[in-house]
Amino acid sequence: MDPFNNLPSELRVMILCNLSTRIEVISASHASPALFQQRSQSRVAVLGSFIREELPGDILQDAVSIITFPKDNNFSSDKQHKLVHSHLTQWGQKALPDPVNEYHPELLFSIDALVLRLNLFMGDYINKATSSYLPRAYASLPDWSHASFSEHLKGPYEPNNGVSLQDLHTGERLRLTQAFLQYELMCKLNPLRPSALVKEWRETKDWVWDELGNYEAIETDFNILDIGNPSRPEMLQCVHEYLRTLYGAIIARIATPEGADIKCPASSSPATSQRPGHPQGLVFPDNLQFNPDLYVEDVDTRSFFGIRHSYIDRLAGCGFDLATSLLTSDMPSCSRFLECFYDETTFEHPSRAPFGCRLSRLREYPEATLLLSDCGSGMWRRLMSGFHTSWGDNFLDQAFRRMYRQHAWAFFDDEGLYYEGLYREGYELPTIEEFVKGELRLRAEHGDPTAARERGRGQVKTMQMGMFDSPNRKPLDKGMKHYPTLMGKVDVAFWRRDLVDCPRV
C-alpha cells in the first residue's frame, strides 16, 4: 500500500518541493505511484521550487535573458542592434518575465534544461580546478563526451581527484552560476561575425569585459562613483579560460587519440627544485597549468603567434552552444569542423572576439576598489592586489593568469576546497614573485628555460591548421554575415540538446 496515497495533494507537492535534488524527486516518485502522479500534475510548481533555490534574485533574470535573447532573423544590423539593446535594457532593469512567480511553463522548462546542462560544465570545471595536477586534469574531456573521443585511449582511465559542485558553499555556487550565465549572455551580445574590414587577427577588437555593467548602471541624483561588481570581468575571464581548456583538450585528443602522455612530477610547486640535467616530466610553469595553445599549429610559421593567441579564443567566444555540439559529435566530424572553421576565420577575420590570458583592468586601484565595493569572493579580494601586478603580455605573466583562472580563484571564499582536492596538507596559490623565482630556478638548474620546457614536454603532437580551404569560402567572399561552418554546428541551442546526465523533474 502506498503511504502517500491518503495525503492531500497540497502535502504531496510540499514533500516533493522539499526534497534536496532532482534525483531524489525522481527516485521518490518512482517508489510511490501517488507521488509519481502528483509530480506529473504539479510539475510546474515542483520545478519552480528548484529554480527558485538554484537561481535566486537577479540570477534568474540572467537565465531568462539567454532563453529570450532576440534571434537574428536576417534583420538589418541597425534593427538587430536596437532589439538587443532593448532586451538588455530590460535585463538591466530586471524587468524580464519571472517564470517562478508568474505562469510561464515553457520558459520555466527551458530554464530548467539550461541549468542542468550548465551544471555539467560547472561540475567539470570545479573538479578540474581542485584536482592535484592541473595539466593532466584539463587534458581530460567530460565523461559525457562522444564515445569516439575515448575509444583509442591507452591504459585505464584515471578520474580527476577534485571536489564536486555540491561541495561549494552557497555563495561560491551562486557566483559560479551567474558567471557562466553571464558569459553565455556576453557570447550572444558579441556573436562571432566576419568582417571584410579586418585584414589580420591583431585588428579584431577584444570584448569589453564589463559591458553588461553598462546596462545595470543606476542613475542617481548624487555624484557617487558606482563601480558595479569589479570582480565580474575576472570571473568571466575564468569561464573563458575553462572553455579554452575544453577546446585545447579536444584538439589534443584529435592529435593524439591514445591520449597525451602527461607524467606527474614529484610536485607541482614552483618552489620545487629538480636535479640538474634533463627534467623528468613537465617543468615550470607547464607543471602548474594547462596551455591549450600548444596543440594548435599552422603551416605558415609567420602566423603562429596569432594562432596561439586567437583561434582557441575565438572558439571559446562561441559559447556553450558550440562546446556542447563538438563534445557530442564524433571525432572525425569535429576535426573537420575545426579545420574548416579555422580557414574561414582566417580568410575573413571576425570584427570582435574575446582575447584570453589578458588582464582586465580595474576601474580603480586595488585598494580603492576594496573600499568602494564589497563584491567579490574572499580569495579574489585577498589576492586581487597581487594578481594585478601581473600586467604583462609575456609568456610568464600569461601562464600565471592561466594558472589562477584554471584554479577558479575568483569564485572561492578561501583555499578550503584546494585542501580537499589537492594536497590535503594545504595549498596556496603562488604569487607573481614566486613565479619569477621559479623561472630563475629553472634557468639555474637546466640552462635555457625554453629548451628545458621543450624537453619536459617531450614530443607534443599538434593539430595542423591551414592545410586546405573551407568549401564555404565563396559565401564569405560574397559578403555573408555569418561563418557558414559555425552556423551548421550551433543551429540547436545547447540547452535543447539531449544529454544523458540531465535528469528532468
Encode pLDDT of 302-314 as tens digits: 554 556 568 999 9
Kindly state whether residue 322 falls inside one of the protein's structural domains. yes
Gap between the Cα atoms of 342 and 173, Å rounded: 35
Do 282 and 364 lie in one domain? The reply is yes
pLDDT of residue 1: 74
Kindly state whether residue 4 falls inside one of the protein's structural domains. no
Q: Which three cell numbers stand for residue 119?
A: 551544471
Do 489 and 431 lie in one domain? The reply is yes
Phi first, then psi, for residue 150 (nearest 5°) are: -120, -5
Do 354 and 419 lie in one domain? The reply is yes
Residue type, 456: G
Do 283 and 393 lie in one domain? The reply is yes
Listed in sequence order, the residues at least 6 apart from 92 whose beta carbon sits closer than 8 Å to its beta carbon are: 212, 215, 216, 217
Work out the percent of the chain whose per-residue pLDDT is above 70: 87
Query: Between 4 and 238, where is the model more confident?
Result: 238
Gap between the Cα atoms of 242 and 258, Å rounded: 23
Across the range 206-214, mean pLDDT stands at 93
Kindly state whether residue 243 falls inside one of the protein's structural domains. yes
pLDDT of residue 60: 97
Do 14 and 71 lie in one domain? The reply is no
Kindly state whether residue 52 falls inside one of the protein's structural domains. no
Do 18 and 95 lie in one domain? The reply is no
Do 117 and 34 lie in one domain? The reply is no
Check whether 483 has a pLDDT greater than 70.
Answer: yes
Kindly state whether residue 505 falls inside one of the protein's structural domains. no
Which position has the grid cell 495533494? 9
Do 221 and 281 lie in one domain? The reply is yes
Q: Report the domain count for the chain.
A: 2
Work out the percent of the chain whose per-residue pLDDT is above 90: 50
pLDDT of residue 156: 57
Helices (H), 277-359: 304-316, 319-327, 331-347
pLDDT of residue 211: 94
pLDDT band of residue 352 (cuts 50, 70, 90) is very high
Check whether 278 has a pLDDT greater than 50.
Answer: no
Kindly state whether residue 2 falls inside one of the protein's structural domains. no
Do 117 and 18 lie in one domain? The reply is no
Do 294 and 216 lie in one domain? The reply is yes
Check whether 316 has a pLDDT greater than 90.
Answer: yes
Do 379 and 333 lie in one domain? The reply is yes
Kindly state whether residue 504 falls inside one of the protein's structural domains. no
Check whether 176 has a pLDDT greater than 50.
Answer: yes
Measured over the CA atoms of residue 243, residue 195, residue 308 and residue 435, the dihedral's sign is negative
> In degrees, to the nearest 5, what angle opens at C-alpha 312 toward C-alphas 316 and 172?
40
Measured over the CA atoms of residue 97, residue 102, residue 105 and residue 109, the dihedral's sign is positive
Helices 43-54/105-129 angle, 10° precision? 40
Structural domain containing residue 340: 61-496
Label residue 151 exposed, middle or buried (CB < 10 Å: 0-12, 13-18, 19+): exposed
Do 182 and 34 lie in one domain? The reply is no
Straight-line distance from the first to the last Cα atom of the chain, in angstroms, rounded to the nearest whole number: 24
Q: Cα-atom radius of gyration of the chain, to the nearest Å?
A: 24
Measured over the CA atoms of residue 338, residue 339, residue 345 and residue 346, the dihedral's sign is positive
Kindly state whether residue 77 falls inside one of the protein's structural domains. yes
Check whether 222 has a pLDDT greater than 50.
Answer: no
